[in-house]
């Protein structure tokens, strides 16, 4: 490439863009006095594993949630309204002002222009944020990034994760469908039965009526909890951030595609005068639901103490694992513990969706109760198998490596040869992606004309994924050797 | 851009990538442009529904409102009607059709018109509330809007109501006067779709 700087100096000519470049440079110089440039954001020029920056992807999804949530504010009414019961000798007809919060969500979904898109992006992004946060936590756990001066990041991260789930909880309660109502019921009961201050705390958080609840959860969801999250984030975000444009764009695209493929229903309107039906919490709460449904467990123990102990164990991990080594192979106990935790989460999450007998679908109320012996046995089995197998595997692997070291033989690490795209492959793929983008743009336009909202959502998502693929192909094929 | 030049190899990733691209474009093309998304337009029909209103305890289907017969009206004018004898179907151009097996659910397509003919039956049964004038009738949509306002069906008389159902959805018709202990069950649904 030679020396571009020198070459540019000798060939310097006045260009049309010079004033704009000068202005940008002027702004950039002044920005150096601000906080903005203190955060070092790295835009990786070659592909690195997204597992390493799952936290940054969570931040990006948080921003998507902020933007779509702000748009939803324009049409959402945080008001339950009045649901008078039927007069004597008449059949019940719901009043038009009954459950206005639900009605406004239904109108966002069905009537408001773009409302369907924004609501589905908001919903799928909330799922993605919880999922990415959990994946981020487990990746950092297995990578050993919770000790050796990572303690502050780890502890704030765990707290941030718990608050993320609470934020999601306040969000889906605001819809006031029967699913939200189930969550409100469980939350209020758990708060009410917490010791000493329980009853007062329940009144402060949940208020005295559904109208109180609507406006309070609205305040929590759109202001108080996000502000708390931002405050904790200021301590949690590391100094060096990786912003990978193609992967971020792909994640955004996948959220949009999921929103179009699995559009979230408004659900069944909650009406205090009508019998409710069997429903499930969101997937990140079915684990709690399984514990609460276990026969003989006090609700406060099942729904608050057990999850708190689980969180506390992870919170305190750095203060018990004091070893200086972070490789998985040197931490068999902690790696086994993580695997056991994953196994337990999987079992209780799936069981939350199932009947008392986990091989049956939950359909009626008499199937709700879970046999405590069977439940505990399944958890113990998951713990024992997950811990045992992983611990044994790590020990075996370490012994093997040490034996090879002692014998001065090469270690069994395979270097994977990267697949290099040939020139023809690069150009045909880039050309194909370009044609796909053009076709998608046309299809999006036609989908909007035909009011096929979910098609538009899927196709906008596909455009983002195709963009990610284009940039990815460009960067893996343009690295200078 | 200096490209890393690969040795000659089978372009597996490139071919797979092209297959994915073609599949994506083909999927969008098929589902958006080949599969029809315009709703099926039914030829609007006029349905006649004949039913008895009686207390749930003595009704044959356990719904209070028993549909006795259903018919398509093949003419533009409704049959002549008297509250004593109901609709006079002589010289009326109609075609009977089989209704739902529970004799209480009514199905229709969006745009259809339904004319109800209801005979309000007083039964000599101790479970019917003493001293009531008749049954009540109302039709609502699932969101609560009223299609037929509350009407008292005096015992021993025929009543008729005509409603046009423009939108798909589930509607409910029900008794509005407390007639027996089974009164809350005295209802049926109209499925428009």
Question: ipTM for the complex?
Answer: 0.74
pTM of the model: 0.74
Cβ of residue A313 closer than 8 Å to a chain B Cβ: no
Q: Which candidate in B6, B19, B35 is best for mutational testing of the A interface (most A CBs within 10 A)?
A: B6
Q: Parallel, antiparallel, or unpaired: how do β-strands A240-242 and A40-42 relate? A: parallel
Report chain A (481 residues): mean pLDDT per 10 consecutive residues.
Answer: 51 81 92 82 84 91 94 91 73 76 88 89 94 93 86 91 93 88 85 84 86 91 94 88 91 93 83 74 85 81 86 89 80 88 88 78 74 85 89 88 84 73 86 94 90 89 94 77 44
Cβ of residue A446 closer than 8 Å to a chain B Cβ: yes
User: Across chain A, how many H-helices and E-strands are there?
Assistant: 18, 2
The answer to which of A86-95, A108-117, B128-137, B175-184 has the lowest mean pLDDT is A86-95
The answer to which of A362-376, B98-112, B174-188 has the lowest mean pLDDT is A362-376
Distance from CA of A478 to the nearest CA of B (A): 5
Bridge partners of B160, per DSSP, are: B117
Cβ of residue A95 closer than 8 Å to a chain B Cβ: yes
Among the partner residues B11, B33, B136, nearest to A424 by beta-carbon distance: B11
pLDDT at A70: 94
The number of beta carbons lying within 10 Å of the beta carbon of residue A104 is 20
* HSE-up of residue A61 (Cα within 13 Å, Cβ side): 29
The whole-angstrom separation of Cα A270 and Cα A254 is 31
pLDDT at B61: 77
A478–B1: do the CB atoms touch at under 8 Å?
A: yes
Q: Write out the two tokens for A379.
A: 């958890």
Mean of pLDDT over chain B:
84
Average pLDDT over residues B166-175: 86
pLDDT at A444: 92
Residue carrying structure tokens 């949940």 = A206
pLDDT at A481: 44
pLDDT at A209: 84
Q: Parallel, antiparallel, or unpaired: how do β-strands B106-108 and B187-192 relate? A: parallel
pLDDT at A162: 93
Cβ of residue A15 closer than 8 Å to a chain B Cβ: no
Domains and CATH numbers, chain B: 2-35 (no CATH), 46-192 (2.60.40.420)
Burial class (CB in 10 A: 0-12, 13-18, 19+), A285: buried
pLDDT at A312: 92
Bridge partners of B47, per DSSP, are: B72, B114
The whole-angstrom separation of Cα A322 and Cα A319 is 7
Q: Write out the two tokens for A105.
A: 């969500």
Cβ of residue B39 closer than 8 Å to a chain A Cβ: no
Residue carrying structure tokens 């008749």 = B134
Q: Give the H or E element holding residue A140.
A: helix A115-142
SS3 of residue B73 by DSSP = strand
Q: Which candidate in A422, A424, A436, A462 is best for mutational testing of the B interface (most B CBs within 10 A)?
A: A422
B146–A421: do the CB atoms touch at under 8 Å?
A: no
For residue A469, which residues of chain B lie inside 8 Å, CB to CB? 17
Among the partner residues B2, B18, B144, nearest to A93 by beta-carbon distance: B144
Cβ of residue B140 closer than 8 Å to a chain A Cβ: yes
- Per DSSP, helices labelled H in A371-422 are 372-406
pLDDT at B80: 85
Q: Helices A245-261 and A115-142, interaxial angle, to 10°? A: 130
pLDDT at A386: 87
A·B CB contacts under 8 A: 98
A422–B31: do the CB atoms touch at under 8 Å?
A: no
> A371-405 burial by CB neighbour count: b if 16+ within 10 A, else e?
eeeebeebbeebbeebbeebbeebeeeeeeeeeee
Cβ of residue A261 closer than 8 Å to a chain B Cβ: no
Among the partner residues B138, B144, B174, nearest to A94 by beta-carbon distance: B144
Cβ of residue B184 closer than 8 Å to a chain A Cβ: yes
Residue B1 has pLDDT above 50, yes or no: no
Distance from CA of A110 to the nearest CA of B (A): 14
pLDDT at A225: 94
Cβ of residue A51 closer than 8 Å to a chain B Cβ: no
Distance from CA of B93 to the nearest CA of A (A): 37
For residue A455, which residues of chain B lie inside 8 Å, CB to CB? 28, 31-32
Residue of B nearest to A94 (CA): B144
Cβ of residue B185 closer than 8 Å to a chain A Cβ: no
Residue B96 has pLDDT above 70, yes or no: yes
Q: Which candidate in B10, B18, B25 is best for mutational testing of the A interface (most A CBs within 10 A)?
A: B25
Average pLDDT over residues B30-35: 87
Q: What is the pLDDT of residues A93-146, one digit of tens each?
A: 677 788 888 889 988 988 888 889 999 999 999 999 999 999 999 999 998 888
The whole-angstrom separation of Cα B26 and Cα B23 is 5
Distance from CA of A117 to the nearest CA of B (A): 17
Average pLDDT over residues B9-22: 88
């Amino acid at each position: 490439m030679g020396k571009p700087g020198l070459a540019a100096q000798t060939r310097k000519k006045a260009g049309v863009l010079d004033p704009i470049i000068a202005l940008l440079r002027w702004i950039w110089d002044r920005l150096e006095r601000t906080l903005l440039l203190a955060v070092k954001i790295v835009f990786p020029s070659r592909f690195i594993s997204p597992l390493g920056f799952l936290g940054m992807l969570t931040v990006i999804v948080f921003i998507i949630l902020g933007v779509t949530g702000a748009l939803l504010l324009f049409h959402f009414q945080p008001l339950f309204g009045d649901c008078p019961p039927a007069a004597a000798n008449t059949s019940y007809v719901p009043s038009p002002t009954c459950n206005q919060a639900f009605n406004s969500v239904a109108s966002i979904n069905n009537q408001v222009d773009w409302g369907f898109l924004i609501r589905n992006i908001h919903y799928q992004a909330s799922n993605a944020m919880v999922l990415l946060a959990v994946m981020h936590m487990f990746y950092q756990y297995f990578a050993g990034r919770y000790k050796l001066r990572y303690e502050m990041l780890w502890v704030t991260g765990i707290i941030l994760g718990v608050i993320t789930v609470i934020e999601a909880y306040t969000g889906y309660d605001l819809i006031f469908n029967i699913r939200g109502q189930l969550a409100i019921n469980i939350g209020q009961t758990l708060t009410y039965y917490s010791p000493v201050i329980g009853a007062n705390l329940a009144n402060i958080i949940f208020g005295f009526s559904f109208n109180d609840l609507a406006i309070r959860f609205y305040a929590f969801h759109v202001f108080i909890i996000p502000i708390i999250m931002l405050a904790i984030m200021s301590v949690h975000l590391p100094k060096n951030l990786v912003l990978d444009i193609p992967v971020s764009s792909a994640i955004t695209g996948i959220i949009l595609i999921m929103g179009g493929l699995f559009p979230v229903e408004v659900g069944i309107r909650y009406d205090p005068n009508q019998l409710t039906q069997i429903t499930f919490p969101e997937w990140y709460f079915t684990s709690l639901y399984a514990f609460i449904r276990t026969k003989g467990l006090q609700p406060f123990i099942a729904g608050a103490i057990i999850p708190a102990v689980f969180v506390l164990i992870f919170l305190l991990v750095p203060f018990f694992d004091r070893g200086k080594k972070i490789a998985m192979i040197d931490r068999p106990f902690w790696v086994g513990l993580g695997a056991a935790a994953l196994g337990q989460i999987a079992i209780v999450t799936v069981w939350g969706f199932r009947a008392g007998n986990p091989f049956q679908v939950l359909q009626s109320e008499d199937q709700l109760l879970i046999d405590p012996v069977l439940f505990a046995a399944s958890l113990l089995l998951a713990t024992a198998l997950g811990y045992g197998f992983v611990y044994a595997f790590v020990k075996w692997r370490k012994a093997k490596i040490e034996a090879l070291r002692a014998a001065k033989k090469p270690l069994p690490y395979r270097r994977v040869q990267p697949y290099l795209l040939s020139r023809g492959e690069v150009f045909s793929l880039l050309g194909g992606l370009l044609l796909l983008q053009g076709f998608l743009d046309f299809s999006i336009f036609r989908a909007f004309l035909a009011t096929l909202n979910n098609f538009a959502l899927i196709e906008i998502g596909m455009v983002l994924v195709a963009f990610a693929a284009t940039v990815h192909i460009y960067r893996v094929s343009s690295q200078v050797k | 851009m200096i490209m890393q030049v690969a040795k000659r190899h089978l372009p597996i990733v490139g071919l797979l990538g092209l297959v994915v691209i073609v599949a994506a474009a083909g999927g969008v093309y098929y589902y958006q442009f080949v599969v029809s998304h315009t709703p099926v337009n039914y030829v609007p029909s006029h349905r006649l529904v004949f039913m008895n209103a009686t207390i749930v305890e003595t009704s044959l289907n356990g719904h209070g409102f028993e549909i006795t017969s259903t018919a398509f009206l093949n003419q533009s004018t409704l049959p002549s009607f008297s509250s004593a004898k109901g609709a006079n179907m002589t010289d009326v151009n109609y075609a009977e059709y089989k209704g739902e097996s529970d004799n209480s659910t009514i199905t229709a397509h969006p745009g259809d018109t339904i004319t109800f003919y209801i005979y309000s039956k007083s039964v000599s049964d101790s479970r019917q509330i003493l001293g009531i004038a008749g049954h009540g009738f109302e039709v609502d949509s699932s969101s609560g809007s009223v299609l037929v306002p509350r009407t008292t069906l005096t015992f021993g008389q025929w009543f008729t109501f005509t409603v046009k159902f423009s939108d798909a959805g589930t509607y409910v018709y029900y008794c509005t006067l407390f007639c027996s202990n089974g009164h809350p069950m005295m209802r049926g649904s109209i499925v428009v779709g």
